[in-house]
Amino acid sequence: MCKNYDIEEIRILVKNALDKLYHNDRYLLEHDVNEQSITHRLAIYLEDVFFNYNVDCEYNRYGDDPKRLKGKSFKKYDKLFKCEIDRLIKEIDADKLAKPDIIVHKRGRNDQNLLVIEVKKSNNKDDNYDILKLMIFTDKDYDLNYKYGLFIKLGKERELNKLCWLSDGKCVKFSI
């Protein structure tokens, strides 16, 4: 059985993983290395602290089936994210698989989806699309069953990071 972490416990574990990333892998951040290389390293540090969970990058399964954002109505997010919703609908229509940057979960199950993370480097300006996806991943109406979401905007220096924590389709905590 997996530990049932609360958001404050998860926040501390993620902070520790980010501290390790900046201590051990600063080169990746300072030299504008591909985002996937950075998220891979972060996932390794998360795996060290989330015992009994799997930590995966770009994981595209919902149980044993391909993970897709379903073509449900996104009207509740329309006022905030009109352009991003149009982009999301195009991806749904193209049957594109949903692949979050990092997830903390139990493979093959949908009742142990603890955390879904999207990461952007500070020089990438396309935050809203990832935040919208995290809202949907954590929204109970969409059946993806992620307890928490986290958007991380990585700065070249640790103190420049911006984090937005989500639960049930809403931002519940924003920190720098």
- pLDDT for 140 beyond 60: yes
Instruction: Give the chain's end-to-end CA distance (angstroms, integer).
Output: 33
**How far apart (Å, rounded) are the C-alpha atoms in residues 15 and 117?**
13
Residue 165's closest CA among 2, 12, 1? 12
Please write the tens of the pLDDT for every residue from 74-87: 666 766 665 666 76
The identity of residue 48, as a single letter, is D
**Could you tell me the pLDDT band of residue 145, with boundaries at 50, 70 and 90?**
confident
pLDDT, position 88: 65
Please write the tens of the pLDDT for every residue from 18-71: 999 999 999 999 998 999 999 999 999 999 999 899 999 988 777 777 776 665
- Backbone phi and psi for residue 67, each to the nearest 5 degrees, phi listed first: -85, 120
**How far apart (Å, rounded) are the C-alpha atoms in residues 5 and 3?**
6
